[in-house]
Structure 1
Amino acid sequence: MMMMHAAVGLWFLSAVIYVGRGHHYFVHGNVKTVQDAVVDDRTDSVSLVNEANQGFSFRLYRKLAADADSQGENIIFCPFCVSNALAALSVGAQGETHCQLFSGLGFNNPLVQKEVDQAFQMFLQRASNQSQEDSSEGTAVFMDDRFKPKPEFLQTLKQSYFTDGFNVDFSQTTESADAINQYVEEKMTNWKIDQLVEDLDPNTVMYLISYIYYKGKWATQFDPELTEQYDFNVDENTKVPVFMMNLEDSFYTFHDDKLKTTVLQLPLNSSYSMLLMLPEVMTTLENATSLNHVTKWLKAMRPRRYNLYIPKFSIKTSYNLNDVLSEMGMTGMFHGGANLRGISERQGLAVSNVVHQATLDVDETGAEASAATGLGFERLAVIQVSVLKFNRPFMVIIERNTKEIFFLGRIINPTI
């Protein structure tokens, strides 16, 4: 049996919090505790948090797409990773700063902090129960050993956000950056990202990281013998050569007439799938698409046989989200008036930087023991098979259980 690998995704968000030098303290928090009273998946609060996460996904995507620096560029990010980190930060936020975080994330009334914490605990616990060698999710916090956070803040991070905790001396900027990078490289990313942190201010007292690593296998294999080079139409005037994977099979698809977009679902292992959206006009799809569209597509999809072509690509992106999150109403956490007294009573505690790094690799690997791809059926000679070729810009979603968006992006040029 040929084992085909696809969609290796790595997502990271870190919130760096600066303050004047504090005192002492930190407790190693490598305990993952789940209380018996975890909210059931069917409860209203968990559904509301999940819906809020999906709504946040598309709002953040549109902000990134509208940014001048993103024009003509690929976009790859993990919205769940961002919302997970900001939800963890909201545990220590109070007053207007907390209101802004909840509003920006979509956690409005009647949701309260405890319900949000329980929902993320359930999301992460469910992922842990389904975990395998090529999947991991969680958070980590690096604390200066002279900074004293509130024990209840640390306890909530450990219990609800599955947080690993570590002591570092941030006055030793090189050594502390190396410690964080080593943890990210070995623990979180399977050596895919080795330089998450480049520069650290000696006034840093906390570094919070939310991470997801996933390496999936296609449910139906591609044959590398069929991969060939074709032109990819970046725009009306630009073509680039790319290697296209090819598979002829029955696929679940839907054509959205209003958005003039063809949607294809490619199942991956562990209840994940990749949605590929091929629009006639990218901006039409980007400006309109929402969770409601994704839900409609998944319900309306029907199987149809296609001769499918998808480009192989390997993409890495890096974003500073300070301006984007401020534009989404989350301004208070970035200045000296931030109210993060749920972390510490010390004045001047504020978020200095929110950065996000992501990589996505789509390819085929493995050893061929049997070529059971459905390409040799004689009946194909008498059945009209349509060609579906992703040879122009398209959007990508990786979702789990048909309701959780973990990855969202667009491919404008697979070669950059």
Structure 2
Amino acid sequence: MRLFLVVFLASFALCDKNYTLQDIENVFGPPQGAPSIELQPPLADAQVPTNLTENDLSDDYSPSVADYDKFDWILTKRIAVTSNENFLISPLGLKLALAILVEASTGATHAEISNVLGLDVDNEVVRKKFSEIIDSLQTKSSDYILDLGSRIYVGSSVHPPQQFAAIAENFYKTEITSLDFSKADLAADSINQWVSNITQGRIPNLVDAGDLQGVVSLVLNTLFFKGTWRHQFNPNMTFNHDFYIQANLTKPTPFMQTKNKFFFTDSVKYNAKILRMPYKTGNFAMYIIVPNSLTGLPHIFNDISGVRAELASLTKHLVDVKIPKFEFEYTSQLDGLLKELGVRQAFEDTASFPGLSRGQTPGNRMRVSKVLQRSGIVNNEIGSVAYSATEITLENKFGEDEPKAILVANKPFMFFIQDEKTRQLLFTGRVSDPSLFDGAFKLPSLFAVNIATLDCLDGAASDLSRLNFFDIDLLRYTAEDRPGNVMISPASIKSTLAMILEGSAGTTEDEIRSALRLSPYKDEFREQLNTYLNLLHVNTRGVSIENANGVFVSNKLKLNKDYVLMIQKVYQSELRQLDFAYTNNVSEVINKWVFEKTKGLIPGIVEPANISPKAEMILANALYFKGSWAIAFNPRYTRPGCFNYRGACTNVAMMELHAELNCAYVENLRAHAVELLYEGGDYSMILLVPRDRDGISQLIRDLPYMSLPQITPLMEPTDVRLIMPKFTVDYSENMALPLRNMRIESLFTKNANLSGIYEGASSQVDNIIHKVHMSVDEKGTTAAAASGAMVIPLIGAELLLKVDRPFVFFIKSNKMGLVLFEGKIEQPNIIENVLVEPSKNIQNNQNRRYPNPYF
């Protein structure tokens, strides 16, 4: 038995598209020189429509401090950083639905949802606030339509307490209705009919019979908005204009234009233009934020919490507005995002929702399993109509003389629509490509949020980019709770797992493939991995990379011929047969192979004592990287310095560099990001330095939600005085536990299915031993990693940025976005018995975009 909770269903679009020629001519007059409406080139000087009264043109705007909107901005920001595509969400719709869950919950479940929404601890204050919001939204007017409806459907086994029913009805205008969920077809028809009626047919089929299997209760919150611009666009003046999708990619797009008095500002803070476009009566308005540069939108979303304060600078100007028509639908799966924000108990077996079912007996205890929102928007010349749907599934737990401003939205921009009285955000979104109609954002799990793009792979780029998801998971589960330095090579681990994957089947195959984010089809994931492995061979003036896979197998066993073929052809592996009875000889052969492949940096990976008498095969991977800095540190500037670790100051060798480097302060992570390029520019090291001295653990926990592909666009060339430690690390780790935590579990049990490796036999994996050597100094970086997998067992004017605390680093390919090495440094090279020199008093230029973190 489960509760399927559709938390929000709303609708937004700009004007019904089915307006007639007569409607347009009544407002704007007939088109000049043409019998019908056609797209026309822009006129020399767009005039304010003369048939509008002075009252129509008046528009009072007085920005005020808004409350209960912190969640709205955070939600928008989190969705925005996951990709660069169009998106549309309704923060208010989701918030109203979650507020009902707050009323139905107790204990930690109640506290978490309430805290994430930023609600007052006094329930009466919360209820009064939401009652005011709903009353405002339900105000009737002849100039717009806004229908808000909430309903809780309950099955025969669910009996909400009378107190909860009264609160839902009195404060949230939510009615409770009985429904027989056992008759799924009829129940779905009834639900869809109610939703379709409120959204005027925009969402005719929210649920189907399959969605209602086992459902005991369903909560719906619907919102429908239809309005008209106060200053409408003349369709006769709509013209084709280029919209910049990327710097070198444009699309011809129908642009609307008008010239009128609007509240407007050219924001210095965001380097962007902000325009308020009111609807008739002034109860609602759309705000458009257009960055002045093509790459400026990520910076706006990165600091979106400051938008509300920036609206206070809007003043009335005569503005020449040119914005594109756009229409798209969007689907977002939000359960992972809500977990990230702190709503976790609601998804666990310990969830508590007694308000939804009296007594919470074992048969009707519930937990949230899915949160989904569907939405859409159409933007054209006359006005507005809006639609969106969010599903939360709960299951059983078992003037002319003024300067004229110009706004041309010919590049990706942000918009939001708010209720001007309560300052609540009805909808927020981004337009990256006005020509696209469909979009989706999905968070299937808490740890798979980051998005990456690879431009250079013909046809396979998007699939290969998913390999990066594994990298952040691996770092988190390896480093989060482990003190000291951590150094891992996700590239090396992936190479080893790829060879195991080829011989696995059933649950074991599914777990490895899922962790690596590979296609479910063998032909496809073989191509993905082969392409990936081909990228790990580089020999240029500035960078050398060498990757090697080796399979060492018992001479007493017969390998599957298909497996041998794939290992050699796809995974570029060397194959050697050995007598595992002589463990000294086996370890000597394998260690010599690793020594050669890592240029002597890793002398060995396996000891004779580590080789089980039952061992049948060892799979090994060796990865070597050597890079020279594009801008080297001057050794003369290297001197002792203080590195803070767990409250103690340790003397370490600090290098210093004065150069223009890509740099950003990433508010989402409360950390500074700086990029050090290797010679040639194809590879780089990214340092992430937490603003707080003890912020390393929080930084690592947050990385799954703000990964490298999202950080990179935020960095800009900046004059930097960088002070950072030299470090040399030899690191060894049994990766079995981190991989188990990443849900690769059956591989390490007797239930492992490796039936594709041998003819007539199968095996299991005991452990994975991973060794990494890395040295970072003034000239560059030398790194090597080795992973071994053994089947029974398995082995395998400057910004001053002073890196004087534990930090995270990545070495990556800039063209492909692939991470070769990653880790955290908590204990750099210690200099014994040397006093720390006081820092020289160097005047630093202040840069508002990068808050001075330490000085």
Task: Please give the range of the TM-score, normalised by the shorter of the 2 chains.
Answer: 0.7 to 0.9
Q: Could you say what secondary structure the match of 1:304 adopts? A: strand
Contact 2:153 2:176 in 1 (8 A): yes
Which among 152, 162, 184 is matched to residue 195 of structure 2?
184
5 Å-filtered alignment, 1:13-52, equals 51-52=67-68
Which among 60, 74, 78 is matched to residue 75 of structure 2?
60
Contact 2:188 2:212 in 1 (8 A): no
Which among 403, 413, 416 is matched to residue 397 of structure 1?
416
Identify the residue that residue 124 of structure 1 maps to in structure 2.
Answer: 134
Are residues 1:102 and 2:114 paired? yes
Identify the residue that residue 160 of structure 1 maps to in structure 2.
Answer: 171
Q: Structure 2 unaligned segments of length 5 or more: list them.
A: 1-11, 17-63, 384-398, 437-855
Q: Structure 1 unaligned segments of length 5 or more: list them.
A: 10-46, 367-378
Shift of 1:131: 5.1
Are residues 1:203 and 2:214 paired? yes
5 Å-filtered alignment, 1:247-258, equals 247-258=258-269
Shift of 1:410: 0.8
Give me the whole-angstrom Cα distance separating, in 1, the residues matched to 2:224 and 2:106: 31
Deviates more, 1:164-173 or 1:147-156: 164-173
Are residues 1:407 and 2:397 paired? no
Contact 1:138 1:161 in 2 (8 A): no
5 Å-filtered alignment, 1:309-320, equals 309-320=322-333
Identify the residue that residue 558 of structure 2 maps to in structure 1.
Answer: none
Shift of 1:8: 5.3
Q: Could you say what secondary structure the match of 1:303 adopts? A: strand
Shift of 1:96: 0.4
Read off the aligned partner of 2:286 and give its amino acid letter.
M
Q: For residues 51 and 365 of structure 1, do their structure 2 counterparts lie closer, same or farther at Cα, with a shift above 3 Å needed? A: closer
Give me the whole-angstrom Cα distance separating, in 1, the residues matched to 2:168 and 2:13: 32
5 Å-filtered alignment, 1:235-250, equals 235-250=246-261
Give me the whole-angstrom Cα distance separating, in 1, the residues matched to 2:141 and 2:186: 32
Identify the residue that residue 75 of structure 1 maps to in structure 2.
Answer: 87
Deviates more, 1:174-183 or 1:343-352: 343-352
Contact 1:6 1:217 in 2 (8 A): no
Shift of 1:152: 1.4
Q: Could you say what secondary structure the match of 1:89 adopts? A: helix
Deviations 1:47-84 (A, max 9, x none): 99x612x10011111221233xxx13111111111110
Read off the aligned partner of 2:426 and give its amino acid letter.
F
Identify the residue that residue 342 of structure 1 maps to in structure 2.
Answer: 355
5 Å-filtered alignment, 1:202-281, equals 202-270=213-281, 271-279=283-291, 280=293, 281=296
Percent identity for Structure 1 against Structure 2: 24
Give me the whole-angstrom Cα distance separating, in 1, the residues matched to 2:275 and 2:230: 14
Give me the whole-angstrom Cα distance separating, in 2, the residues matched to 1:230 and 1:177: 44
Read off the aligned partner of 2:228 and give its amino acid letter.
K
Q: For residues 328 and 131 of structure 1, do their structure 2 counterparts lie closer, same or farther at Cα, with a shift above 3 Å needed? A: farther
Give me the whole-angstrom Cα distance separating, in 2, the residues matched to 1:6 and 1:82: 18
Contact 2:232 2:382 in 1 (8 A): no
Shift of 1:103: 0.8
Give me the whole-angstrom Cα distance separating, in 2, the residues matched to 1:365 and 1:264: 17
Q: Could you say what secondary structure the match of 1:407 adopts? A: strand
Are residues 1:86 and 2:106 paired? no
Q: For residues 122 and 400 of structure 1, do their structure 2 counterparts lie closer, same or farther at Cα, with a shift above 3 Å needed? A: same
Q: For residues 383 and 269 of structure 1, do their structure 2 counterparts lie closer, same or farther at Cα, with a shift above 3 Å needed? A: closer
Q: Could you say what secondary structure the match of 1:129 adopts? A: coil
Contact 2:168 2:174 in 1 (8 A): yes
Shift of 1:244: 0.6
Q: Could you say what secondary structure the match of 1:140 adopts? A: strand
Q: Could you say what secondary structure the match of 2:211 adopts? A: coil
Give me the whole-angstrom Cα distance separating, in 2, the residues matched to 1:258 and 1:251: 20
Q: Could you say what secondary structure the match of 2:411 adopts? A: coil
Give me the whole-angstrom Cα distance separating, in 2, the residues matched to 1:124 and 1:178: 27
Contact 2:81 2:298 in 1 (8 A): no
Contact 1:6 1:364 in 2 (8 A): no
Give me the whole-angstrom Cα distance separating, in 2, the residues matched to 1:203 and 1:180: 16
Which among 14, 26, 41 is matched to residue 7 of structure 1?
14
Contact 1:311 1:390 in 2 (8 A): yes
Q: Could you say what secondary structure the match of 1:145 adopts? A: coil
Read off the aligned partner of 1:257 and give its amino acid letter.
V
Q: Could you say what secondary structure the match of 1:336 adopts? A: coil
Read off the aligned partner of 1:7 and give its amino acid letter.
L
Contact 1:196 1:357 in 2 (8 A): no
> TM-score, normalised to structure 1's length?
0.79
Contact 1:222 1:247 in 2 (8 A): yes
Give me the whole-angstrom Cα distance separating, in 2, the residues matched to 1:61 and 1:210: 20
Q: For residues 276 and 252 of structure 1, do their structure 2 counterparts lie closer, same or farther at Cα, with a shift above 3 Å needed? A: same
Which among 376, 387, 397 is matched to residue 359 of structure 1?
376
Deviates more, 1:392-401 or 1:200-209: 200-209
Read off the aligned partner of 1:302 and give its amino acid letter.
T
5 Å-filtered alignment, 1:298-317, equals 299-317=312-330
Deviations 1:169-226 (A, max 9, x none): 222222222221111111x211111122244142211111122211111111211000
Are residues 1:148 and 2:155 paired? no
Give me the whole-angstrom Cα distance separating, in 2, the residues matched to 1:354 and 1:6: 23
Give me the whole-angstrom Cα distance separating, in 2, the residues matched to 1:319 and 1:172: 28
Q: Could you say what secondary structure the match of 2:200 adopts? A: coil
Larger Rg: 2
Give me the whole-angstrom Cα distance separating, in 1, the residues matched to 2:402 and 2:97: 50
Q: For residues 413 and 80 of structure 1, do their structure 2 counterparts lie closer, same or farther at Cα, with a shift above 3 Å needed? A: same
Contact 1:338 1:349 in 2 (8 A): yes
Shift of 1:302: 1.8
Identify the residue that residue 298 of structure 2 maps to in structure 1.
Answer: 283
Give me the whole-angstrom Cα distance separating, in 2, the residues matched to 1:221 and 1:236: 31
Shift of 1:296: 3.1
Read off the aligned partner of 1:143 and give its amino acid letter.
V
Q: Could you say what secondary structure the match of 2:67 adopts? A: helix
Read off the aligned partner of 2:416 and give its amino acid letter.
I
Give me the whole-angstrom Cα distance separating, in 2, the residues matched to 1:365 and 1:253: 21
Read off the aligned partner of 1:97 and give its amino acid letter.
T
Read off the aligned partner of 1:126 and give its amino acid letter.
S
Shift of 1:121: 1.3
Read off the aligned partner of 2:424 and give its amino acid letter.
E
Deviations 1:341-377 (A, max 9, x none): 22222232222322212222111249xxxxxxxxxxx
Q: Which has the higher contact order (CA 8 A, sep 6+)?
A: 1
Give me the whole-angstrom Cα distance separating, in 2, the residues matched to 1:139 and 1:300: 37
Give me the whole-angstrom Cα distance separating, in 2, the residues matched to 1:249 and 1:316: 30
Deviations 1:220-273 (A, max 9, x none): 121100001111111113212211111122222111112111100111124111
Contact 1:6 1:218 in 2 (8 A): no
Read off the aligned partner of 2:220 and give its amino acid letter.
I
Contact 1:124 1:138 in 2 (8 A): no
Counting matched residue pairs gives: 352
Shift of 1:284: 0.3
Contact 1:135 1:213 in 2 (8 A): yes
Shift of 1:282: 0.7
Give me the whole-angstrom Cα distance separating, in 1, the residues matched to 2:182 and 2:127: 32
Identify the residue that residue 20 of structure 1 maps to in structure 2.
Answer: none
Deviates more, 1:390-399 or 1:199-208: 199-208
Contact 2:258 2:321 in 1 (8 A): yes
Q: For residues 167 and 383 of structure 1, do their structure 2 counterparts lie closer, same or farther at Cα, with a shift above 3 Å needed? A: closer
